[in-house]
Amino acid sequence: MKPEFTLKSVEVSLTPQRRFEEYLQSRGMRNTQQRRYLLDAIYASHDHFDADMLIDQLPSKGEKGYVSRPTIYRSLIEFVDAGLLRRFELDGRAVYEHDYGYPQHDHLHCTRCDTLFEFQSEELFAIRNQVAQDQNFRVSGHRLIISGICERCNRAPRRQRRKQDLI
């Protein structure tokens, strides 16, 4: 799924899979089938997703490629730690998106169709840094979510959530 509009790209030297292998090696962790299945599923598209969407995307119990729920939760934590995914909270659940090789950005959240739209703003970073400096605060990151109704839902007031989000 393509992003909703163009973002500046970022230089990347390794594939996410390769980078994760290095992360594993550096920590004495193991490159298991489950971790590979999960990375493949995650990088099969560019959508935002939560644990349940990832589970639905994977084969069912008994089939090849199945990964149990606890392992999925454990792996998501590892992927975030490895810098492959960013995590944030939306309506009380954890949502993930690609991080490695993907630029920092913020979101517009349509509360009607539940779609997340991305945007980048230099000015936002400038404000963030200025505010932090004023309070002698050492910034590690930020999260901005603008809520409202997207253009599509504005045009079609009674439309259901978008097909792509029902996966």
Partner DNA sequence: ATCATTGCAAAAGATTTGCAAGGTC
Partner DNA sequence: GACCTTGCAAATCTTTTGCAATGAT
Q: Which residues bind DNA (CB under 7 A)?
A: 24, 27-35, 50-52, 61, 66-71, 73-75, 77, 92-94
Q: Which is nearer to a second copy, 26 or 140 (CB)?
A: 140
Query: Which residue type sits at 79?
Result: F
Phi/psi of residue 108, nearest 5 degrees: -105, 130
CA angle, corner 165, sides to 70 and 121, nearest 5? 95
Q: Which is nearer to a second copy, 30 or 138 (CB)?
A: 138
Confirm or reject binding of residue 89 to a second copy (CB under 8 A). yes
Q: At what angle do helices 33-42 and 16-26 cross, to 10 degrees?
A: 150
Q: Which is nearer to DNA, 6 or 60 (CB)?
A: 60
Closest approach, Cβ 39 to DNA, in A, equals 11
Phi/psi of residue 92, nearest 5 degrees: 85, -5
- Return the range that interacts with a second copy (CB under 8 A); candidates 11-19, 41-49, 66-74, 106-114: 106-114
